[in-house]
Structures are given as C-alpha cells and as structure tokens.
Structure 1
Amino acid sequence: MSARDWQKSSFSGEGNACLYISALDHATIRLRESDEPDTILTTTPTTLSALIRSAKAGQLDHLGTA
C-alpha cells in the first residue's frame, strides 16, 4: 500500500504520534499510527462515527483513568 493512500490527521503534530486514515471503499476505513505503521485497524464509517461521537461527548473519559 502506498503512502499516498493514507491521510494524516489534521490534529497530529510533527512528532511520531500521528494518526493516519485511509478509505479502501465506501464501506471500509483503515486507521494506523505512525509508531506502528504495519498495525492497521479496519472499521466501518458508521462504527468510527459512533466512536468519535462518544469521545466528543466524554463517554469514554473513564477509560483514561486508573
């Protein structure tokens, strides 16, 4: 897969902790992190949208606490 297939998140800085996204088609979205570019998470637009909405609403904040 080519580097041009991946789009860097606008929220990623210039460091190594960057998130990249790629759409294979209208039903499949791929995510990867710059630290582990060979590890790819595959999901659907609907599932990713639900995750983003939950994170924005603070429903996942408890996951970051010990």
Structure 2
Amino acid sequence: MPVIAWERPFCGEGSTCFRIGTDGEGNAYIAVAGQEDTYLTDTREALTTLIRDIKAGKADHLL
C-alpha cells in the first residue's frame, strides 16, 4: 500500500466528505473521509480536472 499524504476533508452541502491525497510518485487519490483505505487513484492531473469540473458545476450531482 502506498504512503498517501491526505489533505483536510472537503465537504459539500448535505453530502459526504471527501479527501484528496498524493504519494511520493505524484499519483493522486480520492476517498470518502473516514474510509481512506478504499480509494480511487489516477494521475494528479485527472483528479484535478475532476475537482475543477465539479466546482464549475459540471458534475455537482457527484457531491
């Protein structure tokens, strides 16, 4: 299992809180806060794009 540095949880209104993390190799991770052992991983660029799209309202139903 990689060593992941998790950021503070991000919580949307009335939804589950998520955490974003990175490892020493530049990979990015996203998980439900409190369940960091079950995560989705992709490149940092891919997850950054996902988060930007969500914040722009393109996929707000995901939060």
TM superposition score normalised by structure 2: 0.56
Number of the residue aligned with 1:5: 5
- Where in structure 1 are there 5+ consecutive unaligned residues? none
How much identity, in percent, do the aligned residues show?
33
Aligned Cα RMSD in Å? 2.8
Structure scoring higher RCO (CA < 8 A, sep ≥ 6) equals 2
More helix by share: 1
1:8 and 1:18 in contact (8 A); partners too: no
- Higher Cα Rg, which structure: 1
Ranges in structure 2 where 5+ consecutive residues have no aligned partner? none
Q: How many residues align?
A: 56
Classify 1:57/1:18 alpha carbon distance in 2 versus 1 (closer, same or farther; 3 Å). Answer: closer
Segments ≥4 residues shifted beyond 4 Å: none
